[in-house]
């Protein structure tokens, strides 16, 4: 690579890092608000929120990475053109194909980054995230330890704790169990304790009353008790045999163990094929959007005001490629033999780039076209 290629590549990588950081920050703030509310309202510590956030980063980075690649290619090319550096290189006889070498290398580098994220990191992070979400959902103790709130840890069950002391003593406890509609029961006690005896977690209530309603006889019976135990282990909604999501399946398993997945899990062959090739298509799309952004701006001539018409055209191409990608996914799910369509956005992007670079490399053709149009207008 020449010194200009190295300079251009450094500009692209710096801008790529900047745009990735900005986009990840914007999307992270948008998603973290609802995530923080769910985690904290569930009685979990802030460290669980940070852990969940870290596990969602690979998915978030994969989502914004093509946009960051495109923005870096467009911004760097526009800046070099506005500052006449691109114009000087073209004036020395350097072809647009030659200038595109740094952009192509940039696409390869970002594609390798995308490969590590899409093929390895994201499936592993999604799998770990689902495991932790199941553990948190099953932590009924944390769900109950919220004082001054009416909580509903399970359908038909309401729990209220007025105060939680530093030593773990629960005060002003109320439990309403309406899971058995024929005999609903309510407990209230002055104090209570959470006890884990190995067989499960029990709420031991002291000095309280139990109220049972008989709907048939329309009678209410009350029982005073010195202590009573209520099993809250069954309130947990964790399922150790819960089916994993498609995104959590490792890529190697999708490549070598599709038959076993089809036999044991509720996924169709089309869904497995689509997920597998979707992970690899993200790699190719990084190269395509980088080349598309650069080649579109090469169609413009030098201007101190920038290449805004070409920038708008490049953005239109990006939207077009995203639209094609969203269109082909359902087609592949219905017919797995058409998996090659998942690479259609990248192929279209590269073909458009080649056509634009071919046109940009023939300035006389563009000059003749403008001249012919001017002559027709004068006539």
Average pLDDT over residues 311-324: 89
**Tokens read off for 259:** 């038959």
Residue-wise pLDDT for 131-165, tens only, equals 888 777 666 666 667 778 888 877 888 889 888 88
Handedness of CA 68, 74, 77, 80 (dihedral sign): negative
Residue that wins the pLDDT comparison between 198 and 320? 320
With pLDDT > 90 as the criterion, what percentage of the chain qualifies? 45
Does the pLDDT value for residue 227 go beyond 50?
yes
Residue 236: which pLDDT band, with cuts at 50, 70 and 90? low
Cα gap 174→84, rounded to integer Å: 75
Q: What is the 3-state secondary structure (H, E, C) of 97-131?
A: HHHHHHHHHHHHHHHHHHHHHHHHHHHHHHHHHHH
**What is the spatial distance between Cα 263 and Cα 258, in angstroms, rounded to a whole number?**
9
pLDDT band, very low/low/confident/very high, at 379 (cuts 50, 70, 90): very low
What whole-number distance in Å separates Cα of residue 82 and Cα of residue 315? 19
Average pLDDT on 61-80 reads 94
Lowest mean pLDDT among 115-129, 168-182, 235-249, 335-349: 235-249
Alpha-carbon 284 to chain mean position: 19
pLDDT at 193 over 50: yes
* Count of positions (residues) in the chain: 379
Q: Which residue has the higher pLDDT, 168 or 162?
A: 162
**pLDDT of 301 above 50:** yes
Weakest mean pLDDT among 150-164, 202-216, 219-233, 364-378: 364-378
Tell me, what's the pLDDT at 332?
94
Residue 306 reports pLDDT greater than 60: no
Q: Which of 133-142, 289-298, 326-335 has the lowest mean pLDDT?
A: 133-142
Which of 129, 105, 123 shows the shortest CA–CA distance to 54? 129
pLDDT recorded at residue 47: 84
pLDDT attached to residue 137: 66
More confidently predicted of 119 and 379? 119
Q: Tell me how far the alpha carbon of residue 320 is from its chain's centroid.
A: 21
pLDDT in the model for residue 2: 80
Q: Is 81's pLDDT higher than 50?
A: yes
Mean pLDDT estimate for the chain: 85
Where does the pLDDT of residue 377 fall: very low under 50, low under 70, confident under 90, or very high at 90 and above? very low
pLDDT at 367: 52
Per domain, the residue ranges of the chain are: 3-137+243-367, 146-235
pTM (predicted TM-score): 0.75
Amino acid 30: pLDDT: 84
């Amino acid at each position: 690579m020449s010194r200009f290629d190295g300079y251009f590549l450094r500009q692209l990588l710096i801008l790529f890092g900047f745009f990735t950081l900005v986009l990840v920050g914007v999307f992270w703030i948008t998603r973290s608000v609802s995530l923080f509310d769910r985690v904290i309202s569930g009685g979990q510590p802030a460290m669980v929120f940070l852990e969940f956030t870290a596990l969602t980063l690979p998915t978030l980075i994969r989502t914004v990475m093509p946009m960051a690649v495109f923005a870096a290619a467009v911004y760097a090319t526009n800046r070099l053109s506005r500052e006449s550096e691109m114009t000087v290189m073209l004036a020395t006889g350097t072809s647009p194909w030659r200038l595109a070498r740094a952009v192509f290398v940039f696409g390869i580098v970002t594609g390798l980054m995308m490969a590590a994220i899409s093929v390895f990191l994201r499936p592993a992070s999604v799998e770990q995230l689902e495991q932790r979400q199941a553990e948190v959902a099953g932590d009924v103790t944390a769900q109950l330890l919220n004082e001054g709130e009416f909580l509903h840890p399970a359908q038909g069950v309401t729990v209220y704790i007025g105060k939680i002391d530093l030593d773990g003593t629960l005060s002003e406890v109320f439990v309403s169990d309406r899971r058995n509609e024929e005999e609903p029961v309510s407990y209230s006690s002055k104090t209570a304790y959470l006890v884990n005896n190995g067989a499960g977690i029990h709420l031991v209530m002291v000095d309280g009353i139990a109220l049972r309603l008989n709907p048939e006889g329309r009678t209410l019976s009350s029982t005073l008790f010195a202590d009573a135990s209520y099993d809250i282990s069954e309130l947990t909604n964790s399922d150790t045999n819960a089916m994993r999501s498609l995104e959590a399946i490792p890529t190697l398993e999708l490549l070598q163990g599709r038959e076993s997945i089809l036999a044991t899990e509720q996924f169709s062959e089309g869904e497995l094929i689509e997920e597998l090739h979707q992970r690899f298509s993200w790699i190719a799309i990084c190269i395509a959007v980088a080349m598309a952004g650069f080649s579109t701006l090469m169609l413009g001539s030098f201007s101190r005001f920038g290449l805004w018409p070409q920038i708008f055209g490049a953005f239109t191409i990006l939207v077009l490629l995203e639209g094609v990608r969203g269109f082909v996914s359902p087609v592949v799910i219905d017919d797995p033999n058409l998996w090659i369509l998942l690479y259609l956005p990248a192929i279209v992007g590269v073909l458009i780039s080649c056509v634009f670079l071919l046109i940009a490399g023939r300035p006389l053709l563009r000059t003749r076209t403008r001249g012919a149009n001017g002559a027709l207008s004068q006539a």
